[in-house]
Chains A and B, each alone.
Chain A
Amino acid sequence: MQIELIYCDKFLHKLKGITLGFIFTGVVAKIQGYPRYLCFLFIYMKIKGLFKLLSAFIISIAWNNSAQAGSINSGLGPLEIRPQFIVSQPFLAMTPENSSTLKGGESRLSVGIEIANTFVNTQGPTEQITKKEVARGLTKEDFYDKNGDAGKGYSLYLDAETKRKNLKYNYGLSDSLEFKLEIPFLSFDGGFMDSSIESVHNLIGISNFKQGGAYRALSERNKYDYYVVKDGEFVYASNQIIYNVRGEPSMGLKWNLSEGGNVMPAVTLKLSYKFANSDRSGEQKLVRSGGVDWGHYLILSKGFDKWIVYFGDGKTRIGQNLGFASSMNHQFMSLEYRIEESSSYVFQTVSQSSIFPETAANSRSTSGENQEQRNSNLSVATSVSAFGYKYFSGPIFWKTGFVQDYNNFGNETDFVLFWEMGVHW
């Protein structure tokens, strides 16, 4: 037997001295000249120093090959990435998805990570918040306007990299109905992308001292600070890094209503539901809303030989909105170019309404741009574009790519890298 590739990743969650988690291992090997794919999932448990492997070997199956997803109106599918803006992380957000479903009895298990760099400083134009104020520790008065008044609406100082790790399991209930379960684990820290983003800004002539560069030059690189102020009071005020805090799980059902044909598109309805976990103590309040959210996506797709176009229109209803928007609208358009049966390039654009609701803030001023004008962009819809690559090799699948916002409204991530790997049987 010749081992060609081994991949291993883990999702661990610590709670009161007990560590629980999963260890995923994938192996690509050649046995007697034929490629074989092996996949193991271990459940890991450690209690106060005593190592115990409770259950290993949930899956250990070998395949010679596996059918690739796709029909004339669907391929490997859009990039399944949710909005990564840090303020919307505790809530459900609908993700683009393929119009096709797993066949009855098929399963798919995957792990993925989405790393999002976000920088917003609504006090940048007046230089009220710079390195000096951040080092001293921000107070709510730092967010007041230059006359010392607490403005209406939202003010932000977000300097963070979020890492959302997902463990996903999909199962084909029938040939046109698919079930999904997803558990996220979130980390918020200073990250590593700031200097690269600033360098790219410099390269293309965007000043990091101005709005186009989000006033990044006023702040230290790779620091973590998460401050949201509403009507002069803190909603979030955190500069303590968090690691792998378990978010609220979600489940979904996807129903392929029609595969379409030469003229008609494929049509699919997707429903998602996020469970509520009312334990929002400490750092958990940054990643859990404590309420039930649900949403839908109506997805259409149409194939033109090697090109496949996907459209989606949907909405997320937020049960416990914590003073933010009670719903978010989503639209996506995804363009897949099938290089071959097992691999595709995907270009995607996603629009969504803001997590910040409209406020009564006046957007005109007699003394130049005031705080409310600078923040008025926070409640408007925004868009991102994404580019990625998807690859299937037998039962193993892999995707990677990036997301870039293109209208710089201050209620969206700056740059996102994502990666996912899994097994299909």
Chain B
Amino acid sequence: MVYFAVQYGQQDTGSTAPLVGQSGSYLSTLESKHGALKENRQVSPKVLSFDFYKTNGSVASGFGLEVHSYKKKYTFENDPSQVDISAVGFLYGLNFYYRGDFWFPFLGFGTGNYSAKVKEELVTGNSTTYGTVFGQVDKPFYYKFGVRIPLNGLGIILTQQYISANFDVSTENKPLSLGGTATFIGLYYGF
């Protein structure tokens, strides 16, 4: 069985993934210099996923690939400084399903990589500094659980996901959390 899914939702990058997450201090360090962030730490990733599994009675095990992508601009209370963040996560891992009559609960875990770009424009007095940092998180970790509700070949998927992916921003030498706690809803097609 193979599933393709498109999901959309909210991800709180300021919320540490329980058990595996570490908080990022990059933005809080900038807050101490430029004032509080005007925006919250929520981002809105688009998620494309591909899963396959083999069944064994009413349980199934399988493997999935996911591409997450989001952008976010942060500004500060005390000055016109701004930071643009864009991230693309390519995640993969094992999934386990229970095949019920009307719904298929699942859980999964895995790793992958995140590519990110952080573009800074920081104002201090009359001076503005610029910086662009590219980078990759090599070994993020995630776990998730959720449910698929099949409606013939199509269906609805709900996912709660926890991602640990800290990216070291070299300008401040501080970690920026690209993961966090996420809730997604979407459609899938299975065949």
Q: Measuring CB to CB, which residues of chain A are less than 8 angstroms from any residue of chain B?
A: 302, 304-305, 307, 309, 329, 331, 333, 335, 349, 351, 353, 363-369, 373-374, 376-377, 380-383, 406-407, 409
Contact = CB atoms under 8 A, between A and B. Distances in A.
A309 B64 CA distance: 10
A407 B136 contact: yes
Interface string B82-111: 000000101010100000000000000000
Contacts, number: 78
B112 A363 contact: no
A366 B138 contact: no
B130 A364 contact: yes
Contacts of B62: 304
Interface of B: 52-54, 61-63, 65, 88, 90, 92, 94, 112-113, 115, 120, 122, 127-136, 138-139, 170-171
Contacts of A366: 127-130
B63 A309 contact: yes
Given A307-B52, A309-B63, A383-B113, A331 B139 contact: yes
B85 to A, nearest CB: 15
A365 B54 contact: no
B168 to A, nearest CB: 9
Contact of A376 (B53, B65, B92, B133): B133
Contacts of B53: 304
Given A304-B53, A305-B54, A373 B138 contact: no
Contacts of A382: 136
12 contacts: A302-B94, A304-B54, A309-B63, A333-B92, A351-B136, A365-B131, A366-B127, A369-B130, A381-B138, A382-B136, A383-B113, A409-B134
Contacts of A309: 63
Contacts of B112: 333
Nearest to B132: A373
B130 A368 contact: yes
A209 to B, nearest CB: 18
Given A363-B170, A364-B171, A407-B136, A383 B131 contact: no
A55 to B, nearest CB: 47
A351 B138 contact: yes
Given A331-B113, A376-B170, 10 more contacts: A307-B63, A309-B63, A363-B132, A363-B171, A364-B129, A365-B129, A367-B130, A368-B130, A380-B135, A409-B134
A391 B65 CA distance: 25
A351 B113 contact: yes
A380 B134 contact: yes
A261 B138 CA distance: 29
Nearest to A383: B113
A304 B53 CA distance: 6
Contacts of A349: 90, 92, 113
Nearest 7 A/B pairs, CB to CB: A377-B134, A407-B115, A364-B131, A381-B136, A380-B135, A304-B54, A305-B54
Nearest to A331: B138
Contacts of B113: 331, 349, 351, 381, 383
A32 B63 CA distance: 46
A366 B127 CA distance: 7
A309 B54 CA distance: 13
B159 to A, nearest CB: 20
Given A333-B92, A383-B90, A407-B115, A304 B136 contact: no
Nearest to B52: A307
A349 B170 CA distance: 26
B148 to A, nearest CB: 17
Contacts of A363: 131-133, 170-171
B54 to A, nearest CB: 5
B136 to A, nearest CB: 4
